[in-house]
Structure 1
Amino acid sequence: MRRFVLWCAAILCVSSTASAAVRNSFMLNEANAVTGSKFLESNKFDTTLGRLQGNGQNWLEFITVQGDELGGGKFKNTLDLRGWKFEWAYDKQDPADPNQYGSGTIMFTNDPLWAAVPVGTMLTINEWKQAWYQPVSDLNGGLDRMGGIAGLGQQRGDAYNPAIHTLKDFSTNVGWNPLANGGGGAAGDWNINIWAGERNADNSFKYFNFSGSVVDGDPNNPLPIGSDEAGLYAVNNDSWQWTIKDAAGNVVQGPLGETGTGVTAVSPITGQPVAANWSVNSQEIVRLEGFAVGSNATQQKYLDAWLNNYQDGSSSSFGEPNIWSSGSGVQDLSPLRNWLKTGDANLDGVVDGSDFLAWQRGFGKAQPSLTDGDLNGDGVVDGTDLAVWRGAFGAAGTVAVAAVPECSTACLAAMAAVGFIRRRRHQ
């Protein structure tokens, strides 16, 4: 598994700007509201998961739309998410049982992974680490959930038996590399998946901190988030809503939610109230629609998205572009990913000596990423990557050997192999 490693050096990692993040620079793309005991309605399935009871449990999917502001109307190609918050809330609004509600926050930690998340990255977060299934009750080829590893790491249900169970693994995978497996541009691996319960060595949560509470029957005794009964967060069909805030507390998206949340959504474009024309049920998901392939989607259109760009749906696409209308609509993510340039190891939009230094630092590294200089996505940083950089930089581009301190013999040999070092001819 390749790891997306963000090395904090002057050429890449800088602190967040003091100004507020751009509206919709980080957006909810899809959320699973299917109740744990049910399946997607109308015999539908998820393009990644198939047809599962609970549709993979509580999961959220986000898309990075705009980077940190540089000033002068310019932006980085990466977004610093450290300290950002995803706030959620729900209320069953049931007259027969009015005190069923909950709210909470998922806050991004200061882990280096969040320091510079590239624009166009799709981030999926699953509360459960694993779940296992077998065919039992569904008449449409679906699999019933028999057990799993929940958010706090405890086993639920039956023990896993590989002889009879189908395993779905939602373990953390930070293998971001758009050039992997011969990809490129929007076609490569732009995904990061996080198991929400991932821990550090000291048992603290690694990537997120969780807070809040839910009410289950007795409003005088709320169940705290982080307890076995409440889990880590909630996604459901009970007038669920969300808000995204940057590290300074500025609202980036929301509050948005299905009909009945009591949210007054005023369009930032027209200044007029926008009414939701959707209401998710216990066998559906929430997803961003529009921006379809062939519709001339642009980054600005994503930044202008609001409540009416979200819909309920009976099919889903965990970790993949959204689909709707029985597959006739497919989300176009290329406007968010066309900034990536061949040879640009530090993701600053320019192929220059800084990218060469990234290659030099990553030379021979195990499980390298694009930011380590793996410019052809083959899992190795070697002379072929140097050739990619040189071709992108231009035949006239050279860097003196003296500017590459502590370059190993193998490193120098790779440089020589692609004609990077010009040897003087002896007379």
Structure 2
Amino acid sequence: MTASGANGSRTIGVAVLGMGNVGAEVVRIIGENADDLKSRVGAPVALRGVAVRDLSRPRKVSQDLLTDDPAALVARDDVDIVVELMGGIDPARELIRTALQNGKSVVTANKALLAEYTGELATAAADAKVDLYFEAAVAGAIPVVRPLMQSLAGDTVDRVAGIVNGTTNFILSEMAQTGADYAATLAEAGRLGYAEADPTADVEGYDAAAKAAILASIAFHTRVTAADVYRQGISSVTADDLVAAKKFDCTVKLLSICERVRGADGSERVSARVYPALIPLSHPLAAVNGAFNAVVVEAENAGRLMFYGQGAGGAPTASAVLGDMVMAARNKVHGGRGPLESTYASLPIASIDDVPTRYYISMKVADKAGVLAQVAGEFSKRSVSIAAVRQEGAGEDARLIVVTHRAPDRAQSECVAALEDLESVIKVSSVLRLEGTDD
């Protein structure tokens, strides 16, 4: 049983799993802000233990609180809330499920786990009548999960689009500002601590795709997993792409886009996708630079809402974790529960082939008469309208850039494949999508 505080009120016991950058900040804040937390929760909050992998490493917490047995910590009777900050799928999945089944509320920042197993964990929380909170899983300190689940619960969300990965945003921002190529900027991101030793999860879009799955699930009341998200990373983006984007008054960002796709017959599907795209400099996301994140939500009645701030880092992410912890603790003290998973819509997932998009295509071409007509002919065959054409260079350096109007992605990709087979097209050097425009 949980012990009582000195004033006779119930003490809320908290277990923290993992003490990396975020975990260390959570532990610090719990210790330093004990009085404030007590006032906000309505009862004392006590740290019962911290699970770590290596007990021999020096840490800024009492050695008595450390354990390398997270399962035993989760099972303790004096733990009411489990804060999971280990990351990865296993053993986090089993630890969270066990905690929920034993009546303990859970706060997690584990986007990879939630992108695959939100349904399983949400069901366990509902069955046990406890909370599962995960605000920190999507965009660090930026509050976007709770607004979608609560503030916009009475509205219809049409679109959620944003920059949700700080590493890729730093790389693309630096490429745009300095003219450096991808490899050099990635190396700089690693030197500054923005990129991991193995940056694959970030630069190939896996991290952003997991977050897109979570956002789409919440926004459209439909279970969406990472496997449902179309994903393309930034490793193929070149310095030339950023230069060309400026000529079209655009920049390039890795976007996570979740939207409600409506058919002519009134049917609805969910599209979730991640890819680098050109966006106009006038678009609010174009000004989001460095390691910052931003999410734009479009709803039928609320209109356009933008959430902006620190998308990663120990203290910013800990802020979101602590917000969830306080909510869960209040519910333990005063009764009540947070919002449950909502999947009533169960909308089908739209294939990327059927999603209307715009394309930016850069190709090296033969410098001779008739090339433009041949290129335009391939687009015409597939009913893809060309919005703009720019020809650059001459001779061996001749290059053609085409920007299309909106058309189904399948038709656009078929055009690209056809261009590669043209004798007059030496190489299709770059293909990016164009977002944030009305046409």
Instruction: Specify which structure has the higher proportion of helix.
Output: 2
Question: Greater relative contact order (Cα 8 A, min sep 6): structure 1 or 2?
Answer: 1
- TM-score normalised to structure 1 length: 0.22
- TM-score normalised to structure 2 length: 0.22
